[in-house]
Amino acid sequence: MELPHQCTLCPRACRADRAAGHVGYCGADDRLMVARAALHHWEEPCLSGDPQDRRGSGTVFFSGCSLRCCYCQNYPISQEGVGKAISVQRLADIFLQLQHDGARNLNLVTATQYLPWVCEALDLAKGGGLTLPVVYNTGGYETVETVKALQGYVDIWLTDFKYAASDLAARLSSAADYPVVAEAALRQMLRQTGAPAYDAEGFLRRGVIVRHLALPGCVADSFAVLQLLARLRDEEKVSFIPSLMSQFTPFYKAASQGLGRRITTYEYRKVIEEAIRLGLTDGYMQEKSSAREEYTPPFDLEGV
């Protein structure tokens, strides 16, 4: 797989000549940019254990993003270009170092804009002894073609399902097609990966985790997302792990789009009640007080 002259790696299909160094919608050009690589302790417990677990999830944060949400908590790397250019061999070495450090899995955060390099680095790392399950941590805005291209590389999909309403997706993420795109991608993830499978310690080895971040003033859309997920579960006849999140904090440009506060206890309780009604209970629900700074690590090029 080569870096494209007309990039269509993500649903934006901006056709930037990235092989010639032009910058795509995602902010990436012909360089492989990484902002942080370290053990992370704040993913779902089946990925990183409890907060006292010394090992955690081996996260690699890539620079740039095709979604670029107005409330992104990682906005310095997703939208402001923070990161360091590295080689494919260096990326493979990072993967192996995280395994050496005790990571329970290899967690690739927002990696699609670097797909050719990531696949090559995984091949190199596996040739060098990488045995960790690979987690693909994504905002859910992926083409079916990209999901298919990752078959054989990705063991665990850690995907968002942000919106059911196209107008909300357009306003907050400039992606009116998000609901349709994310549903098609999720269906493909489930077909490729199958039902969740765990090791003897209870850590996920294979499967799909679907996150939904409840947003203030958007309870009706959260209900619609949960109803969509329940329908998809029934149609595909494949289980996944739902993860309802209450950690929204008005980062970046959130206030300018009417998201200038955190979600209330009442709002989040209503979302949980709907999930329970729909049987989406075999997963995770955050405490209302879960908006903590640990969820946003310092992007100081650690491990890069």
Question: What are the binding residues for [4Fe-4S] cluster?
Answer: 65, 69, 72
Residue-level length of the chain: 304
230: Cβ contacts below 8 Å, ≥ 6 apart: 278, 279, 280
Q: Is 138 helix (H, G, I), strand (E, B) or coil?
A: strand
Residue set of the binding site: 65, 69, 72
For 158, 186, 198, 242, 292, the CA distances from 239, given in Å and listed in that order, are 14, 12, 13, 9, 29
Distance of alpha carbon 41 from the chain centroid: 15
Q: What sign does the CA torsion over 291, 172, 297, 134 have?
A: positive
Tell me the two tokens of residue 238: 């494949």
14: Cβ contacts below 8 Å, ≥ 6 apart: 7, 24, 25, 26
Of 115, 106, 108, the closest CA to residue 138 belongs to 108
- Residue pair 208/196 in contact by the 8 Å Cβ criterion: yes
